[in-house]
């Protein structure tokens, strides 16, 4: 297990380095942030002085090496816009993103699990048809369109919820609902398929032949094994949500990690872009590492391997 963890950790660090490297060189193609930071009418001398103060006058490879060595120490530089450490700018948005992600994941998982179980246990009935149609629509509907429709109906027309922002439960309802629709739809479809596959296994028929209670067969022999692929999906979704949903945070003016990264891209704030992407990559990788470890709890065969 120790060797496995060390290997996974090495892979994770390599993945983060790769992501940061790609972002570094791509962000340099976007343009010169010094031009955006200078007031209208500033001369070439002012531009050269600002570029020198930001370290943008050095060769690109020198900038990269300095940036990587600093990031190893946890220093992502000073934000061009906010004049504060870039990672601090990103981390202060993390609680807001975590609140939205946790809400969407909790309700989406609960609804999706119940719906998927109903569809599998009531196969061939109207209940399964309704669940699968709803799940298909939930996955196919673009989240930005759904978010806009919810704003038009519940905020503009009915006035029940604010159109954007954060700070209260009312602000959380619409963006949380928008994200949970996709989460629940994805989990419902995958869980139904997984449950139906497990129900056909020989050991399930053997358990039933032994006279075990249907509830015991379902929870101990079917559901436990059917959850393994579902946990993978939950881990992927959790990593994406904790990394900030750029589209939803933009639609609802939700001041989270995704939105601050988007604002940094628009302003060409390189330190914040790199800090934000590194944090998102780290969260995604850590969540999926935890999912791998959870596999061993659910299936001892995986742990022995």
Rounded to whole angstroms, the maximal C-alpha distance in the chain is: 87
Q: What confidence score (pLDDT) does residue 71 get? A: 76
Q: What confidence score (pLDDT) does residue 61 get? A: 82
Q: How far apart are CA 304 and CA 273, in angstroms?
A: 41
Residues in contact with 184: Cβ distance below 8 Å, sequence separation at least 6, in sequence order: 107, 108, 109, 111, 112, 115, 135, 138
pLDDT (mean) for 59-77: 79
Task: Provide CATH 1.10.3720.10 ranges for the chain.
Answer: 94-304
Q: What confidence score (pLDDT) does residue 34 get? A: 64
pLDDT of 305 strictly over 60? no
Q: What confidence score (pLDDT) does residue 111 get? A: 92
End-to-end C-alpha distance for the chain, whole angstroms: 9
Q: What confidence score (pLDDT) does residue 124 get? A: 81
Give the chain's mean pLDDT. Answer: 80
pLDDT of 7 strictly over 80? no
Residue % of the chain over a pLDDT of 90: 3
Q: What confidence score (pLDDT) does residue 39 get? A: 61
Look at 22-26, 37-41, 164-168, 228-232 and tell me which has the smallest mean pLDDT.
37-41
**Residue-by-residue DSSP string for 26-46:** HHHHS--HHHHHSPTT--HHH
Residue % of the chain over a pLDDT of 70: 85
Q: How far apart are CA 38 and CA 53, in angstroms?
A: 13
pLDDT of 288 strictly over 70? yes
Q: What is the pLDDT of residues 132-168, one digit of tens each?
A: 899 888 888 888 888 899 999 998 888 888 887 777 8
pLDDT (mean) for 185-203: 83
What's the burial of 82, exposed, middle or buried (CB within 10 Å: 0-12/13-18/19+)?
middle
HSE on the CB side for 158, CA within 13 Å? 8
| Annotation: CATH topology of 94-304 | MetI-like fold (1.10.3720)
pTM, two decimals, is 0.75
Q: What is the pLDDT of residues 86-100, one digit of tens each?
A: 888 888 888 888 888
Q: How far apart are CA 273 and CA 76, in angstroms?
A: 10
Cβ atoms 239, 288 nearer than 8 A: yes
User: 78 phi and psi, to 5 degrees?
Assistant: -100, 135
Cβ atoms 235, 288 nearer than 8 A: yes
Higher-pLDDT residue of 83 and 293 is 83
Cβ atoms 116, 196 nearer than 8 A: no
């Amino acid at each position: 297990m120790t060797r496995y963890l060390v290997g996974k950790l090495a892979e994770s660090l390599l993945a983060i380095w790769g992501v940061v490297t790609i972002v570094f060189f791509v962000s340099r193609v976007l343009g010169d942030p010094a031009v955006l930071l200078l007031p209208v009418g500033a001369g070439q001398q002012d531009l050269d002085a600002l570029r020198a103060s930001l370290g943008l006058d050095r060769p690109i490879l020198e900038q990269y090496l300095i940036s990587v060595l600093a990031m190893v120490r946890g220093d992502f530089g000073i934000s061009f816009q906010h004049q504060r450490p870039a990672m601090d700018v990103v981390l202060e948005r993390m609680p807001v993103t975590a609140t939205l992600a946790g809400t969407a994941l909790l309700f989406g998982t609960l609804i999706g699990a119940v719906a998927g179980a109903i569809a599998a246990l009531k196969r061939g009935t109207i209940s399964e048809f309704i669940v699968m149609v709803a799940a298909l629509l939930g996955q196919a509907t673009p989240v930005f369109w759904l978010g806009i429709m919810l704003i038009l109906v519940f905020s503009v027309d009915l006035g029940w919820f604010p159109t954007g922002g954060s700070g209260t439960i009312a602000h959380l309802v619409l963006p949380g609902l928008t994200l949970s629709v996709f989460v629940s739809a994805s989990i419902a479809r995958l869980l139904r398929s997984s449950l139906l596959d497990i129900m056909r296994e020989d050991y399930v028929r053997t358990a039933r032949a032994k006279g075990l209670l249907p509830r015991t067969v379902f929870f101990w022999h079917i559901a436990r094994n059917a959850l393994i692929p579902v946990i993978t999906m939950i881990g992927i979704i959790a990593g994406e949500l904790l990394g900030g949903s750029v589209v939803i945070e933009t639609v609802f003016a939700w001041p989270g990690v995704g939105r601050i990264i988007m604002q940094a891209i628009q302003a060409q704030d390189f330190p914040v872009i790199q800090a934000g992407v590194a944090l998102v990559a780290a969260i995604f990788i850590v969540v999926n590492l935890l999912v791998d470890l959870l596999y061993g709890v659910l299936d001892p065969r995986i742990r022995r391997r």
